[in-house]
Structures are given as structure tokens and as C-alpha cells.
Amino acid sequence: MSEVMSEEILENPRDDILETAKRIIRLGPICDSCLGRQFAMLATGLTNAERGRSLKTVLAMQASADGDSSTLEDLAPSFRSARLKLGRRDEPDARCTVCLGEMSIEVLDKWAEKSAAALAGWEYSTLLVGTKMSGLLAENEELLLADGGSRHAEPFKSELNREVGKRLTQLTGKEFDLRNPDMVVHLNLENGEAELQVASLFIRGRYRKLVRGIPQTRWPCRECRGRGCPRCNYTGRMYQESVDEIIRPAVIQAAEAEDTVFHGAGREDIDARMLGRGRPFIVEAVRPRKRTIDLLKLHEEINRQAEGKVEVIDLALADSSMVERLKEAAFIKTYSALIRLGADVAEEKLKSGLRRLVGQVDQRTPTRVSHRRADKLRLRKVYSTDLIEVKGNLARINVKGESGLYIKELISGDGGRTQPNLAEILRVDAIVEELDVIDVGGESDGTSSRNAEEV
Ligand SMILES: [Zn+2]
Ligand SMILES: [Zn+2]
């Protein structure tokens, strides 16, 4: 025996497996699984029931050899061999005082059948089993750990998950996946139900918003917060439709989902269109019954239902990790703006004015959003500006800028809160009359604030 080991044994004189097992058995009737679970970390390749049975067997043999009838008495309620030795042939096994019978073969089988029944009718390829403990069982487990004193136990949950899981993979033929299962079956020990947790289905794509006046996502009424009031005409919302809600019905139908959640890579203003190649988005189908989606058909169906207001392109399946990336991505955007000037400005002067906007811009939170956003100074980049057309005091320009750049304020100056700005450079009033996003392009260098609302 090595020095380290002998020291350990001196420090922990009570760590004798058979002594510990005897102490546990003295606490009350205990099934093979619950006894074996107290030593789960010690011998691999065995079930806890096998570990428990082995311990009971050795304890009974030792007690017989020693003529130790008190240990045989302790073993008897939950070990038939000890009962035979004591002449108690006709007595059945007592109920386990730890799991209250949950670890019996019949109950484990019943849990697996219940789980399989809950999973029927859902399309999925991977699953996982979890356990919601009841207060009573959690307390039993704690008491056993405290009074039994084994240092090698595994949690009750782990064994139940594993044992039901084994049976469930047999019943369903599906694979286990610890990280990203389509389905998690929660065995609720409090109410006896097998409850399903269904992973969302994620579909990515790009959307074009072809009309003005539609927000990107559902917008609950500010007055009533969605309950319905005179202001919102009892609809509960500020706008009657949104890109989100236009896309939603076809996705719900295709995935047989309960709801959808819309994730956009930033958003344009309600009065701005989203043109060009469109804006990247991910739509999350919540609790989908179907996971095999005909994306071409979905694409056609969304566009048909959108009636020319919205169009989606490049639909593909995505996964949950892409949502985070999409939200964090800071895209470079190109805008087309129709601007109205306070006076006619010569084309050359306008062009040189626009050139002076390129570079770094300081923007305080715009007045128009200051009621819902903290007043902050942001530094944003303007990559390029182009004059497309000028007619009298109306000009159409393109601006390519960093994610989070406010275009309306870049033109008007917002009372000097954006510097530089076109109005100040030209020394005439300048306002954006119409704004469209015409490209959401490659990622910028990441210095901008995340997930900002642009334009
Ligand atoms: Zn038990
Ligand atoms: Zn309302």
C-alpha cells in the first residue's frame, strides 16, 4: 500500500464500504438501486442495482458466517436471501424508504412508456431525459447522504435519467444528445407527468421590406401594453402589422409551431424601406411539431401571403447559436435618402458638402428616440456618400455607414447633436424626406455598439 493511500485511510477511518453499507441498511428498507447508488462512483460497468445486490449478498454471507443475526434482520425487509435464512419465506419485499419504489423495474418502465407517449406526434431526431425532483424524494436523498455517510454516491436524478433514457431509446429508436437535443422529457416526480421541452426550429434568411410604415417586429400598444384599449382600437398593438407578423403564419403552418420569435440583424425605421439584398434575420418556430421543412415552399408561401409588402430570400435552416451571432454582428449599411433642402444648392457645393461627412461622426442620442434611450455620445463612421440626383431643393443621396449610424440626424444635425452634419456644412436646413436601406453588407470592424437601431 502506498504512503498516500494509507494516510488517506487514517484520515478517513470510516471509509469502509461494507461498514458504510451496513450503516445504510440499518436506516430502513432500501432497494438494490438506492443502496448501489451510494457507491456509484466506485465500480464502473455495473448498474446501481447490481452494485446494491452485490453488497447485500456479501453482507448476508458475512453475517451468516459470523452468526450476526442483527445484520440479517436489518437486511431481511429488502433482501430475500436474508429472509430465507431467518425462516421468513412468505414475506414480500418492503417498499424502499429512499425512492419509495421509483427505481423499481415496473416504475422505470412506466416512466419510459409515459415519455414515449408524450413524444408521439412530434418530429425529432435527438432527445434527453431530465428529472424534476419532488420535495419528499429530495429530502430522502439528503437524509441518506447525511446519515449513511457514503462519499461515492451519485444523485438520484442521474440514475433515473439514465435508466429511463436507456428504455426510451429502445422504445423510440432515437439518439441521445446531451448538448443540443430536439426534445427534453422532464420526469416530474411531483405530479407524475412526463413533460416535454421542445427545442425551437430556426430558419434564417434575408427580408426586403417594400413598403413604408411597417415596423420589423410586433409592437404592443404603449398605453395598454397589449391588453387592448381605446387608443389601439382594442388591438393591443401600435401597428396592425409588422415584418414579423407577415412572415409568421406561413412559418407556423409549415412547422406546426405554436408561435414564432423574430430576430433581425438590426432594424430599419418604420418609415424606411429595406431594399437591395435585404436584411439578415432568423425566425424561430416555437414548439414545432415538424422539423423537416420544404424551404422552397415556405419561401413561396411567405411571399404570397406578404402581398408585396415584404419579400424573403435565401431561406435556410439555422441553429440557436446563430441568433446570438446575428444580434451581435455589426453590419455595414447603405442607405438611399431623399433630402429636402431649405434652399437650392449648387450641385458642386452639395457634392463637396457630402464629401465632408465621410469619416468619423459624433452622435448624441437623437431627440426623436431620447424618450426611450439613454442620452449618450456615439462615434460612428461614414464610409462613403454619393449624390445620385439633384433637382432644385430635392436631392437623392446614398450613404454607406457603420452599424448604428443615425442618417436622419447626419443630414439635419438634430440641433447640433450630430457633428458634422449636412445642414451646418451647407448652411441651409436639410431634412430626410424618405429613407431606404439598400444594402446590409459585410461586418464592420466591431467598434460600434451592438444591435443598435439605425437610421
Ligand atoms: Zn429505492
Ligand atoms: Zn392599447
Q: What is the pLDDT of residues 198-253, one digit of tens each?
A: 999 999 999 999 999 999 998 888 889 888 999 888 988 888 899 999 999 999 99
Angle between helices 48-66 and 17-26 (to 10 degrees): 90
Over the range 317-330, which residues count as b (16 or more CB within 10 Å of their CB) and which as e?
ebeeebbeebeebb
The Cα–Cα gap between 127 and 388 comes to 56
Phi and psi angles of residue 351, each rounded to the nearest 5 degrees, phi first: -60, -45
> What 3-state DSSP class applies to 172?
helix
- C-alpha to C-alpha distance for 216 and 440, rounded to whole angstroms: 15
Task: Kindly state the cell numbers that stand for 309.
Answer: 409588402
Note the residue count of the chain.
455
Residues with CB under 5 A from ligand 2 (ion): 221, 223-224, 229, 231-232
H helices present in 120-224, as ranges: 135-148, 156-172
Single out the catalytic residue among 74, 182, 269, 439: 269
- Say if CB 265 and CB 327 are below 8 A apart: yes
Ligand nearest the Cα atom of residue 235: 2
CA–centroid distance, 218 to ligand 2, in Å, is 13
Ligand nearest to the CA of 236: 2
pLDDT > 90 fraction of the chain, expressed in percent and rounded: 82
Residue 9 C-alpha to ligand 1 middle, in angstroms? 29
In this model, does residue 174 exceed pLDDT 90? yes
Decide if 269 is catalytic: yes
Tell me whether the omega of the peptide bond preceding residue 420 falls within 30 degrees of 0, making it cis.
yes
pLDDT of residue 445: 46
Q: Is pTM, for the whole model, over 0.95?
A: no
Q: How far apart are CA 440 and CA 207, in angstroms?
A: 11
Concatenate the DSSP letters of all residues of 80-140 into one string. Answer: HHHHHHTT-TTPPPPPPTTTTTTTSHHHHHHHHHHHHHHHTT---SEEEEEEE--HHHHHH
Q: What is the pLDDT of residues 391-444, one digit of tens each?
A: 999 999 999 999 889 999 999 999 999 999 999 999 999 999 999 999 998 655
Q: Say whether pLDDT at 353 is over 50.
A: yes
Cβ(51)–Cβ(40) below 8 Å: yes
Q: What is the pLDDT of residues 319-340, one digit of tens each?
A: 999 999 888 888 899 999 999 9
Give the distance (Å) from ligand 1 centre to CA of residue 116: 24
Alpha-carbon distance 85 to 82, whole Å? 5
pLDDT of residue 11: 54
Measured in angstroms, how far is the CA atom of residue 414 from the centroid of ligand 1?
72
Query: Which residues have their alpha-adjacent CB atom under 5 A from ion ligand 1?
Result: 31, 34, 96, 98-99, 103
Query: Separation of 269 CA from ligand 2 center, angstroms?
Result: 21
Ligand whose nearest atom lies closest to the CA of 234: 2
